[in-house]
Amino acid sequence: MFRRGRRLAIAIAALIALLFAGRWAAVVLTDRWWARQISPAAVGFLTDWHVLRLVLDLSGVLLASAWFIGHLLLVYRAVGSVQVRRNVANLEFREALTPGVLLAIAVGTGALLGLVTGTGTSAHWREVALAWHGVTYNVTEPLQHRDLGLYVAQLPVWRLAHGFFLLLVLLGLGIVFGLYMLVGAVRWIDGRPAINSHARVHIGWLLVGLALALLWGYLLEPYELIAGLSDPLDAAAWQSTILASPILAGVALATAALTAAWALRPRHALVAAGWIVLAFASLVGHWMVPPALGGEGASAASPAAIERLDRKAYGLEGLSEERVIGAGRPTPPPVPSFWNTAAIRRIVAGDSVDVLAVDQATLTGTRMRRPVWLATRSLAGNRLAVSAVADDRLGSKGQPLFYGPGDTVPRPSPVTLLELGPGSFRPLAPPHVFVSSGRHGVEAGGWPRRLMLAWALQAPGLLRQLPAGLMVDWRLSPSERVGRLAPYVEWGDPLPRVIDGELVWLLDGYVAAEAFPLSSRLAWRGRRVGALEAGFLGTVDAATGATHIYVRPASDALAAAWAGISRGVVEPASAIPEAVLRQASYPVELFRVQARQLEQGQWKAGSLGGSQPLADPADVPLTDQGWTDDTMTVFRLAAYERPTERRLDAVLWAAGPGGADAVRLLRLDSMSVVPSRAALEARWNRFASYDALSDSIGDDGGKLEDGPVRLDVRPSGVAAYQSHIAWSRAGAAVAWISVAAGERLGAGRSLHDAWSNLLGASAPSIPGSAQATRLDEARRWLERADSALRAGDWNTFGRAWTGLRDALGARPDTVAR
């Protein structure tokens, strides 16, 4: 009976191993077939990637299993016999387990513990691959004068190995100690602990391992402190660490020697004294020495060195600082942006299944570039449509204008710029698709090949009778496509671009480092990082699926190291087509992190969240964006405010014209003062004309919504403007535009009217009425105020009085006098 059970267990284990091996082989083979159609270099890289992950998992499981099995076998040698209770009918008796059964239990339990502990080691393949290849910045940190690459590439692997070793030692010590207590090898006799020789030797060498693990950790502490992986680094923490770390390592080494001597000869007092001294020394070194040395809060390195490393960590080496004087005559933005992401989604939605992506881009023509919003949406029948909405111009009634194929002038009626049929590559695409012969994909082939594809893709449809020459393709989402080719990169959202008349998805690729010397810790994608680099640019053709990954022109050492590891999958920056380079915008997630760094770093640019801190540390307002004067690219802005003064203090400007990223911190002079965005919106919404407009649209069943406040920064000063969009049954229209330059405000039905009002040349009028002069506007508000006064309607009187004051261009204090 026992032999039959053992054979059954072996058969089940073999079947499970066969299923795992078959699944792994199916995934590797299908990945190779899939990669061959995209990039020959990707075949070898993906194979190496799968093999590396398998080796790491097997190594972790085998090492942990050997560790636990070995220790359990040592315990097994000390056990004379083990009895278990058995019940037969109403009789209970004890039966001793045979040595064979005990041996099987020890081996099986150790293998199970090893499987649980070692599984998941492959999750750290990035750290292993990067440490094996190495990263060199040719820049050293000022405290230990080590290259930055040691902290980025080598230190994470040192910590992983240390953590795994410590885990094995602690688990082994706990399990072994518990088993020896269970069998009576460790017990209490007359109120004193007693241990037999076999258990003492076994536990003693495990304690030696624990002491060596602690020694290893003490030696890593200075590196972890510099890399920002432990306590905040200040002068006190650094001085105490470099003083205590070697001393604690020496004490741990002495404790290991005393414990080894105890394992050989039972000198209990000596080993107890060693561990007591080690614990006390650790307590003193970590908790008492830093306050005694002083220097808490003081920097461990010079401010110049910290700034240099912060710039290196977050791509700010090219950051320039400029001052905006604002002494000239204010001018309106030459290329305004009237729409926003949310509005475009509603405009183009129509009868589409889903709006997939919306982004600002340019359409290239024979003589000019046209700023547009590109919106992609899915249609019935698994089709894909692309619309282009003009961003810098409006219809005669403020309605959106659309570009169609070959248009040089936008048209007022909605039109589709591009339409792609089923099987196109897009976000939210199905897991796989069957396509006819001659198109993109992998040939289904015969039964063995189809079985591998069905197993890997979980596509049982491949096992049916299929026509000859059928192709199958998968990973149709651009993010999944580039993510499989370069799994070491964290990719941003795909952005639609029309290049040479075809839809191409562009994706920014990021690589982050948790350990980076002396840099600020910032939140990114739900974790804290010490460095972030937008080192890659991915492209996916929406029609053919042709995929390319390039190194960005402004990449650094970390991206270069990963490009070397990928063995040709990543193409150099010089290979980026000029048309793609012109369409590449500044990486949005890098911009968010840079904006946060300038807010909290030594630059003291101001507050991004105004008077209230941001709810999410990584959430930087991205509504401030616009077009450069030549409409070559979109620039991004982050506005910093002085919370106590409700005005803008500085602006972070970033753009990537032609792929050459540029970042500038524009500090606003007192002559170019602009109120904060919240203050501007509050003042604009108090315009009596705005209230009348909102009431008029509401009476017609519509709704007036405010767009984002946009900034235009130039040497003459800072201008702010905001589009107010009217939503009705007829659709969307920009019904009102508010503008500001310095302390001067204006509003009107168009940007020209609003700027004219700001300069004092006209008074604003709501849609549906003729443009009024200042005198006509003042007369109208005076009549409304008089009527409200007679009726005792003080709310209406207040709004009318405000409108009269604005029409006359008088300040509140002037009217009061």
Helices 794-808 and 774-791: angle between axes, nearest 10 degrees: 160
First to last CA, the chain: 108
- Look at residue 84 in the predicted model and tell me its pLDDT: 43
157 and 275 belong to one structural domain = yes
Residue 88: pLDDT band with limits 50, 70, 90: very low
For 134-151, what is the mean pLDDT? 94
User: Pick from 555, 581, 607: which residue ends a domain?
Assistant: 581
- Look at residue 437 in the predicted model and tell me its pLDDT: 58
Residue 757: pLDDT band with limits 50, 70, 90: confident
Which residues lie closer than 8 Å to 157 by C-beta, 6 or more apart?
A: 127, 128, 131
- Look at residue 698 in the predicted model and tell me its pLDDT: 81
**Is residue 73's pLDDT more than 50?**
yes
Comparing CA positions, the residue from 583, 131, 146 lying closest to residue 361 is 583
- Look at residue 816 in the predicted model and tell me its pLDDT: 36
Residue 401: pLDDT band with limits 50, 70, 90: very high
Length of the chain: 817
Residue 613: pLDDT band with limits 50, 70, 90: very low
Residue 346: pLDDT band with limits 50, 70, 90: very high
Selected residue with higher pLDDT from 730 and 115: 115
Which residues lie closer than 8 Å to 219 by C-beta, 6 or more apart?
A: 245, 249
Selected residue with higher pLDDT from 366 and 225: 225
**Is residue 202's pLDDT more than 80?**
yes
Which ranges of 99-234 would DSSP assign to H, the alpha helix? 99-118, 125-133, 148-149, 155-183, 197-226
Residue that is written with structure tokens 């009085």 in the block = 801
CB 751 within 8 A of CB 739: yes
Which tokens sit at 503?
């839809």
**Whole-number Å distance between alpha carbons of 138 and 147:** 6
For 374-400, what is the mean pLDDT? 91
**Is residue 459's pLDDT more than 90?**
no
* Residue 509 to residues 538, 549, 565, 763, Cα–Cα distance (Å): 7, 9, 16, 49
- Look at residue 805 and tell me if it is in a domain: yes
Has this prediction a pTM greater than 0.85? yes
Comparing CA positions, the residue from 158, 112, 135 lying closest to residue 562 is 135
Summarised one tens digit per residue, pLDDT across range 659-686 is 467 899 998 876 667 788 888 888 888 8
CB 61 within 8 A of CB 164: no
370 and 517 belong to one structural domain = no
505 and 368 belong to one structural domain = no
Concatenate the DSSP letters of all residues of 519-561 into one string.
PPPEEETTEEESEEEEEEEEEEETTT--EEEEE-TT--HHHHH
- Look at residue 424 in the predicted model and tell me its pLDDT: 87
What would you report as the CA-atom Rg of the chain, rounded to the nearest whole angstrom?
35
**Is residue 630's pLDDT more than 80?**
no
Concatenate the DSSP letters of all residues of 18-58 into one string.
HHHHHHHHHHHHHHHHHHHTT-HHHHHHHHHHHHHHHHHHH
**Whole-number Å distance between alpha carbons of 198 and 204:** 10
391 and 526 belong to one structural domain = no
428 and 391 belong to one structural domain = no
- Look at residue 322 and tell me if it is in a domain: no
For 434-444, what is the mean pLDDT? 72
683 and 730 belong to one structural domain = yes
- Look at residue 369 in the predicted model and tell me its pLDDT: 81
Q: Which of 8-17, 374-383, 539-548, 631-640 shows the lowest mean pLDDT across its residues?
A: 8-17
**Whole-number Å distance between alpha carbons of 573 and 560:** 11
Range(s) of the domain holding residue 505:
423-436+470-581
- Look at residue 815 in the predicted model and tell me its pLDDT: 37
For 519-541, what is the mean pLDDT? 93
Expressed in percent and rounded to 5, the helix, strand and coil fractions of the chain are: 45, 25, 30
682 and 800 belong to one structural domain = yes
- What's the domain count of the chain? 5
For 442-456, what is the mean pLDDT? 85
CB 747 within 8 A of CB 757: yes
Selected residue with higher pLDDT from 803 and 723: 723
429 and 377 belong to one structural domain = no
Supply angle C-alpha 642, 326, 813, rounded to 5. Answer: 65
- Look at residue 640 and tell me if it is in a domain: no
- Look at residue 741 and tell me if it is in a domain: yes
CB 634 within 8 A of CB 585: yes
- Look at residue 238 and tell me if it is in a domain: yes
Q: What percent of the chain has pLDDT over 70?
A: 87
Q: Are strands 662-668 and 320-324 parallel, antiparallel or unpaired?
A: parallel
**Whole-number Å distance between alpha carbons of 145 and 708:** 47
Summarised one tens digit per residue, pLDDT across range 686-703 is 877 777 788 888 877 889
- Look at residue 308 and tell me if it is in a domain: no
**In whole numbers, what is the pLDDT of the chain averaged over residues?**
84
Concatenate the DSSP letters of all residues of 252-282 into one string.
HHHHHHHHHHHHHS--HHHHHHHHHHHHHHH
Which residues lie closer than 8 Å to 61 by C-beta, 6 or more apart?
A: 114, 115, 118, 119, 121
Which residues, in sequence order, are bridge partners of residue 706?
Answer: 724
**Whole-number Å distance between alpha carbons of 154 and 220:** 12
Comparing CA positions, the residue from 728, 684, 676, 741 lying closest to residue 707 is 684
Highest mean pLDDT among 378-387, 755-764, 798-807 belongs to 378-387
- Look at residue 771 in the predicted model and tell me its pLDDT: 45
Helices 197-226 and 40-78: angle between axes, nearest 10 degrees: 150
- Look at residue 558 in the predicted model and tell me its pLDDT: 95
377 and 488 belong to one structural domain = no
Which ranges of 37-154 would DSSP assign to H, the alpha helix? 40-78, 99-118, 125-133, 148-149
Selected residue with higher pLDDT from 802 and 638: 638
291 and 153 belong to one structural domain = yes
69 and 42 belong to one structural domain = yes
Summarised one tens digit per residue, pLDDT across range 206-246 is 999 999 999 999 999 999 999 988 777 888 888 888 999 99
- Look at residue 738 and tell me if it is in a domain: yes
User: Pick from 563, 581, 599: which residue ends a domain?
Assistant: 581
Q: What percent of the chain has pLDDT over 90?
A: 42
Which residues lie closer than 8 Å to 213 by C-beta, 6 or more apart?
A: 162, 165, 166, 169
Which tokens sit at 817?
């006098």
The DSSP call for residue 302 is -
**Whole-number Å distance between alpha carbons of 394 and 343:** 14
382 and 525 belong to one structural domain = no
- Look at residue 11 and tell me if it is in a domain: no
